[in-house]
């Protein structure tokens, strides 16, 4: 699938990822006149309601890469996006070194992304780091290397503001370009690897 509604330039395949030494590696490549990568999700396999969702990973780098660790409401096929809700635990754009984005998309914030934070982390591109969301019936907190960076806790929890009282499934992907990754892609950086040590879900 190409684009995913964001003008992304990659084509997702079933061959751009591997398990090696206990780690999941998603590789983005420039192949001729196209870019290839992988998106993995747990849709219709495993969904979760509340808990701590944590990933330890090493990010790809370079202008044009857009790795993400995120979640979508399992009712997306019935109510569509953004009413289903979206939790972006991690988004990184290679065009902005040292900056991590955490965001929530809802019907209320559609088109504005008002529930978001940009956090500067020096040398976040070096080595492995943890990205987590702690989600309860009252709030969603985002943490980077166990440092709290953003809390979303609206007082009025209507369906348009708070679709987070239902199961969500997990997605991991490495996009290229698009509205978030940017219109410029540096072809000299490829191949690039998004190396995921683990994804863990903690629930009571």
Q: What is the CATH number of the domain that holds 139?
A: 2.60.120.200
Parent domain of 75? 10-202
Catalytic residue positions, numbered: 86, 91
Please give the Cα distance from 20 to 27 (Å, whole number): 12
Classify residue 5: in a domain, yes or no.
no
The percent of residues in the chain predicted with pLDDT above 90, rounded, is: 93
Number of structural domains in the chain: 1
Please, what is the average pLDDT of the chain? Answer: 95
What's the 3-state SS for the chain? Answer: CECCCCCECEEECCCCEEEECCEEEEEEEEECCEEEECEEECCCCCCECCEEEEEEEECCCCCCEEEEEEEEECCHHHHCCCCCCEEEEEECCCCCCCEEEEEEECCCCCCCCCEEEEEECCCCCCCCEEEEEEECCCCEEEEECCEEEEEECCCCCCCCCCCCCCCEEEEEEEEEEHHHHCCCCCHHHCCEEEEEEEEEEECC
Classify residue 2: in a domain, yes or no.
no
Classify residue 3: in a domain, yes or no.
no
Classify residue 1: in a domain, yes or no.
no
Classify residue 82: in a domain, yes or no.
yes
In this predicted model, what pLDDT tens digit does every residue of 27-56 receive, in sequence order?
999 999 999 999 999 999 999 999 999 999
pLDDT band at 4 (very low <50, low <70, confident <90, very high): low
pLDDT of 110: 75
Q: What's the rounded mean pLDDT across residues 94-104?
A: 97
Classify residue 4: in a domain, yes or no.
no
Classify residue 184: in a domain, yes or no.
yes
Classify residue 72: in a domain, yes or no.
yes
pLDDT of 109: 87
């Amino acid at each position: 699938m190409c684009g995913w509604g964001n003008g992304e330039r990659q084509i997702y395949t079933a061959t751009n990822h591997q398990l090696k030494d206990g780690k999941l590696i998603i590789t983005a490549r420039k192949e001729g006149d196209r870019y290839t990568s992988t998106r993995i999700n747990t849709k219709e396999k495993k969904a979760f309601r509340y808990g701590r969702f944590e990933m330890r990973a090493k990010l790809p780098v370079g202008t044009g890469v857009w790795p993400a660790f995120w979640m979508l409401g399992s009712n997306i096929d019935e109510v569509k996006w953004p009413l289903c809700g979206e939790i972006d635990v991690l988004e990184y754009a290679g065009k902005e070194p040292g900056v991590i984005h955490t965001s929530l998309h809802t019907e209320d914030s559609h088109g504005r992304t008002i529930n978001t934070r940009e956090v500067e982390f020096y040398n976040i591109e070096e080595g492995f780091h943890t990205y987590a969301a702690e989600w309860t019936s009252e709030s969603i907190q985002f943490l980077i290397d166990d440092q709290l960076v953003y809390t979303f806790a609206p007082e009025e929890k209507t369906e348009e503001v708070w679709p987070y009282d239902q199961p969500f499934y997990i997605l991991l992907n490495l996009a290229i370009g698009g509205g978030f990754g940017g219109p410029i892609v540096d072809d000299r950086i490829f191949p690039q690897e998004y190396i995921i040590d683990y994804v863990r879900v903690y629930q009571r």
